[in-house]
């Protein structure tokens, strides 16, 4: 069985509903995880996506802000999880029912953290740290029960590696690439032995970006990007990602410059189960 999973911070699903539909038609992922949908559950455009074969949709919405949604061709069951200390709509956890290859999919929109990387003076940054701590606590308890195949996707709002940003030196004090954030994210990944699929076949010194600021006049000419979006798998699913090969991981950069684009590009990982 082959399953294609895409994650995308869409920055308003209603504003970019047609863009999402075009992507689904062209790339046909089995699962699409959206972040920053910016709508309540009853405002989500279910019908257009169900008409395209995505019969299973789980939404966590909030008026005007945040929000996450997972669309799937495969049956899903919603999991009861809680990560956000402020009760923002920032995650959707599901169990994807794929026969003997069932797996858990956790779709995250981690807080951006504001402009100042100091939790003492910046409540937004403290909120980000608290959210990450809640993630760490959850997966610590989760893995005590065993690795039943986990996939973590979403906009993590952290670019961890030196080559996950356009300038490591210039962004060391910029929220999303500060040493504190990078260390916390790496501890979360390492403590639970997750695999960052971006680097399975891509060397650590290769520049990889999924986000480019709206402020750039010519996005790819300046190419001041950051790899804020991630797909992680637990060790039980590492072979499935490896079997998909280098072509199994794809950043769809062209969608960053479509009409009325999100500032994030979609990111896909194929798993050969």
Contacts made by residues 116-122, CB under 8 angstroms, sequence distance 24+? 116/175, 117/173, 117/174, 117/175, 117/178, 117/180, 117/181
The whole-model pTM stands at: 0.97
- Under CATH, what is the fold of the domain 2-272? Deoxyribonuclease I; Chain A (3.60.10)
Q: Could you report the per-residue pLDDT of 146-181, keeping only the tens digit for each?
A: 877 999 999 999 999 999 999 999 999 999 999 999
**Cα separation of 273 and 270, whole Å?**
9
**Cα separation of 249 and 251, whole Å?**
7
**Cα separation of 106 and 127, whole Å?**
19
Name residues whose C-beta falls within 8 Å of residue 24's C-beta, 6 or more positions apart in sequence: 32, 49, 52, 54
CB atoms within 10 A of CB 186: 14
**Cα separation of 81 and 58, whole Å?**
13
The closest alpha carbon to 175, from 90, 123, 118, 110, belongs to: 118
The closest alpha carbon to 70, from 20, 134, 130, belongs to: 20
Structure tokens belonging to residue 60: 């966590």
Cα angle 95-101-102, degrees, rounded to a multiple of 5: 10
Please report, for the chain, the start and end positions of each structural domain, with discontinuous segments joined by +: 2-272
Structure tokens belonging to residue 267: 């990111």
Region for 157 from its dihedrals, namely left if φ exceeds 0, alpha if ψ lies in -120 to 50, beta otherwise:
left
* E runs forming strands in 61-182: 68-72, 76-78, 91-96, 103-109, 150-155
Task: pLDDT tens for the chain, 273 residues: list them.
Answer: 999 999 999 999 999 999 999 999 999 999 999 999 999 999 999 999 999 999 999 999 999 899 999 999 999 999 999 999 999 999 999 999 988 889 999 999 999 999 999 999 999 999 999 999 999 999 999 888 887 799 999 999 999 999 999 999 999 999 999 999 999 999 999 999 999 999 999 999 999 999 999 998 899 999 999 999 999 999 999 999 999 999 999 999 999 999 999 999 999 999 999
The pairing of beta strand 76-78 with beta strand 91-96: antiparallel
Task: Say what the pLDDT of residue 152 is.
Answer: 98
**Cα separation of 107 and 68, whole Å?**
7
Q: Could you report the per-residue pLDDT of 11-53, keeping only the tens digit for each?
A: 999 999 999 999 999 999 999 999 999 999 999 999 999 999 9
């Amino acid at each position: 069985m082959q399953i294609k999973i895409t994650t995308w911070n869409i920055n308003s699903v209603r504003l970019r509903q047609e863009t999402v539909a075009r992507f689904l038609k062209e790339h046909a992922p089995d699962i699409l995880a959206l972040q920053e949908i910016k709508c309540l559950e009853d405002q989500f455009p279910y019908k257009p996506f169900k008409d395209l074969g995505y019969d299973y949709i789980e939404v966590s919405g909030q008026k005007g802000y945040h929000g996450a949604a997972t669309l799937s061709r495969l049956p899903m069951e919603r999991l009861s999880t809680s990560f956000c200390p402020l009760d923002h709509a920032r995650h959707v956890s599901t169990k994807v029912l794929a026969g003997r290859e069932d797996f858990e999919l956790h779709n995250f929109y981690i807080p951006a953290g504001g402009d100042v990387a100091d939790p003492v003076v910046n409540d937004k940054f403290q909120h980000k740290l608290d959210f990450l701590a809640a993630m760490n606590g959850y997966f610590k308890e989760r893995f005590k029960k065993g690795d039943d195949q986990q996939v973590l996707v979403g906009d993590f709002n952290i670019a961890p590696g030196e080559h996950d940003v356009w300038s490591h030196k210039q962004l060391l004090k910029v929220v999303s690439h500060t040493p504190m954030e990078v260390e916390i994210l790496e501890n979360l990944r390492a403590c639970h032995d997750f695999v960052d699929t971006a680097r399975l076949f891509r060397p650590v010194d290769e520049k990889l970006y999924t986000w480019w600021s709206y402020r750039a006049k010519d996005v790819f000419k300046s190419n001041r990007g950051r790899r804020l979006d991630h797909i992680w798998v637990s060790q039980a699913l590492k072979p499935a990602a490896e079997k998909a090969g280098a072509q199994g991981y794809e950043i769809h950069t062209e969608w960053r410059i479509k009409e009325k684009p999100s500032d994030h590009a979609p990111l896909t990982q194929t798993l050969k189960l």
